[in-house]
Structure 1
Amino acid sequence: MASVTEKLSESYKAAKRAVSSAPSNDAYLAWDAPGVETVKLDEEVKAQAIAETMNRMQKHNFDKHRHAFRATHVKTQGIVKGKLSVLLDLPSHLRQGIFAEPGKTYDVAARYANEPVFLQPDQAAGPRGSSMKVFGVRGELLEDGNKSSPTQDFFFNNAPMIELTDIDTCLEIMQLREKHFDDPMTLKVKTALRTDAVKQTAPFLLPSTNLVSIDFYTQSAFRFGDFYGHIALFPADDAMTEKASEKVKSGQSSEALSEWLKEYLEKRGVKYHIKLQLGTDPAHHPTEDASVVWDEATAPYQTLGLLEFPPQNSFSPERRAFWEDHMLLDPWGGLAAHRPLGSINRLRKIVYRQSQQQRDRLNATKSWDVGSIDQIP
């Protein structure tokens, strides 16, 4: 039975829906319809400039720690293995890509991390992220896909939008972060002087909350079979959401988030509802401006399945080292049915691969597109 809060929320969404100029909620737009994507002529040049900037920030980290990390989402907080189960009664319009077969179950591995480009104590407020690899997928692959052992990668953060907005803004912000990499106070001041200062600073005000309580969002858009949309993960266990009151305080361990996650997962595991918003109109549900939060009144979440990670050690040295030094994740290495959309995703086609190559070169390691969950410790 719906709670009073849920009823009020639905009433509010209905009122917003009634005055919105967006098409009907079920008038889902084709992923390749005019206006869904608008590619600029200079994108490849700017993407390469971003990749080079982020490589230099990786080198800054290497010079400090004598180890090369990813260009973003540097600090690992936990790595888990589990299952993704597609709903048995999934509506026909949602039977797309990896969700095409109701009741289908996949092996899944995921990493929790702090999003910033440098190692930070967990007391620091800011965005948190999760990356996820789904194994054993079937269907037409994008050009960078692993044909022998196909997988599908998804990337999430704990905010429904990304402040980097588009390729132009991303280049500006990354150059600013590189320039003041060792001077966070000056970076904060310079960011506050931007015309989009509220947008740029918002994610870094997010409290450092127990990771099991967090909602995770893909932020950017991607193809969903015939349509396009956003995916999100929402805790499916009340015990997880109850941990939202746990925030890292100044006197606590600087590694509290990984410690809390490890303690929780060793006892009971975690599970999420995996849900989808489908777009109906680029004006209301854009792909090119990833800083726009898609209104749930015009793009309501629809449940696709359940993601479950049973009790386990989420921070074993073997698993952490394997993921950090060998796991290759790429949004452009999966199914054509989940093709990334928008300039934020198009730049990732260049940036992610060069970040991985830089990491491998500095660490004298080899990353690869792991094709089986059994290869992960």
Structure 2
Amino acid sequence: MSNDLQRPPIPFTPTVEVRADDEAETIQGLNEQLRLIQEKTAKDYGTAMRGVHAKGHAIVKGRIEVLSGIAPALAQGLFAAPDSYDALLRFSTLPGDILDDSVSVPRGLAIKLFGVPGDRLPGSEADTTQDFILVNGPAFAAPTPKAFLANLKMLAKTTDVGEGLKKGFSAVMQTVDAALEMVGIQSPTIQTLGGAPNTHPLGETYYTQVPLRHGGYIAKLSIAPVSQNLTELAGSKVDTSGRPDALRQDMGEVLIEQDSVWELRVQLCTDLEKMPVEDTSVIWDEKQSPYVAVARITVPAQLGWEHGLSEQQEQAVSFSPWHGLSAHQPIGGVNRARKPTYEMSTQFRGQHNGCPIHELHTLADLPTQGMTVD
């Protein structure tokens, strides 16, 4: 596998990170915008939601198996030796409000692994979980925390806009995005604002978009469908006409039928200029450094969404790239900004809903009985 690399991977050192002078001020701005979104949605729904990725489409239990025979540069952190861990997967979409699925925006996949041993990141010393946060695009929509803040301000401004207007805006943005793609241009900003193609979430490949430590190296991760029931959905469109929760329904039909399998893949950084740490909008060239499988995730056939219960489970769990091992430390400005903003968002949910959110220890900690949901 190491022969797949044209150049040797770059070793991780703290010097690969370069902080902007006004980073603390930018993070404060991000916190303010997320709080604004959460306050608006809490007022609208009577309960506090996540600041982003508020609407879940499936929350399922599975198992991840670390593969054997991995090349040394890839066999790092929790992937250092063959093992297996329980996993919780949550599929979602970007905004902080609960929208009709015809408003098409980027998809998210958050994964929590349980019982993972090793040195921990600050703030998660008492935990044994490892979280990975991924989106269905290979690069982040903003190059820096300051640009991320500008995007979040746009998202905050649309949070309280009427849904009918959002549907029309999304349809226009999807047309614009499709036209750009025809001439070989992808616009993350247009996709963030509702122009993402309305494709089936289970046929998508998801990416961390931002770099992480990979033991002694630097990497991005992806999760790609490999079982036929998933790969045959790649690029297929979801019919959302008159179906506000079409994604939950369509995903549920697939997940209940048979086991679903994904590969977790690692892309090592081999050139800090062409694969920058601090500019998260740059797609790392897969010809220069391919994504290589290091683990396999299997989700046994099960309900993707159970009305009443899944909402309870979503509220009981939080995901953050800073829940995890030091060997998989998030790096770069966008990741540094994520730590306090994710913490603030989780605290807001817990305080507003009168139930602090504690990190899960096992899958058994998830609620097993739901409440009646209107």
**Interval of TM-score (by shorter of Structure 1 and Structure 2):** 0.7 to 0.9
Distance 1:173 1:280, change over 3 A: same
Runs of 4+ in 1 over 6 A off after TM superposition: 184-189
Tell me the residue number matched to 1:88.
68
Instruction: Indicate the residue corresponding to 2:153 in structure 1.
Output: 175
Hey, what does 1:239 align to over in structure 2? 229
Does the CA-based 8 Å contact 1:137-1:152 persist in structure 2? yes
- SS for the counterpart of 1:122 is coil
Which of 5, 9, 30 is 2:11 aligned to? Answer: 30
The question of 1:342 aligning with 2:342 is answered no
Structure 2 gap ranges (5+): 177-184, 369-374
8 A Cα contact 2:9 2:73, kept in partner: no
Q: Which position in structure 2 is the counterpart of 1:142?
A: 121
Q: Which residue identity does 2:196 align to in structure 1?
A: L
Structure 1 pair 240–63 and aligned structure 2 pair: CA distance change class (3 A)? same
**Does structure 2 retain, via aligned residues, the 8 Å contact 1:142–1:333?**
yes
Q: Which residue of 2 aligns with 1:201?
A: 190
1:111 counterpart = 2:90: yes
Task: Say if 1:138 and 1:296 are closer, same or farther in 2 by CA, change over 3 A.
Answer: same
Equivalents in 2 of 1:233, 1:330: separation in Å?
Answer: 17
Who is 1:161 aligned against?
A: 139
Alignment of 1:1-377 (within 5 A): 25-32=6-13, 34=15, 36-102=16-82, 104-147=83-126, 149-183=127-161, 198-203=187-192, 204-244=194-234, 246-317=236-307, 319-376=309-366, 377=368
Give the superposition deviation at 1:143. 1.2
SS at match of 2:232: helix
RMSD over aligned Cα atoms: 2.4
**More moved, 179-188 vs 138-147:** 179-188
Shift of 1:165: 2.2
Query: Which stretch shifts more, 129-138 or 116-125?
Result: 116-125
Letter in 2 for 1:144: G
CA distance in structure 2 between the partners assigned to 1:134 and 1:287 by the alignment: 25
Change (3 A) 1:44 1:197: farther
Q: 1:178: how far off?
A: 2.3
Report the TM-score when normalising by structure 2: 0.87
Change over 3 Å in CA distance of 1:57–1:33 after alignment to 2: closer
* Distance across 2 between alignment mates of 1:261 and 1:176: 29
Paired residues, number: 348
CA distance in 2, matches of 1:98, 1:243: 30
SS in structure 2 opposite 1:244?
coil
Q: The residue matched to 1:264 in structure 2 has which SS? A: helix
Is residue 37–residue 156 contact of structure 2 (8 Å, CA) maintained in 1? yes
CA contact (8 A) 2:106 2:191 kept: no
Percent identity at matched positions?
28
Offset of residue 362 of structure 1: 1.5
Q: CA deviation at 1:181?
A: 3.2
Q: Which runs of 5+ in 1 are unaligned?
A: 1-16, 18-23
SS of the equivalent of 2:27 reads helix
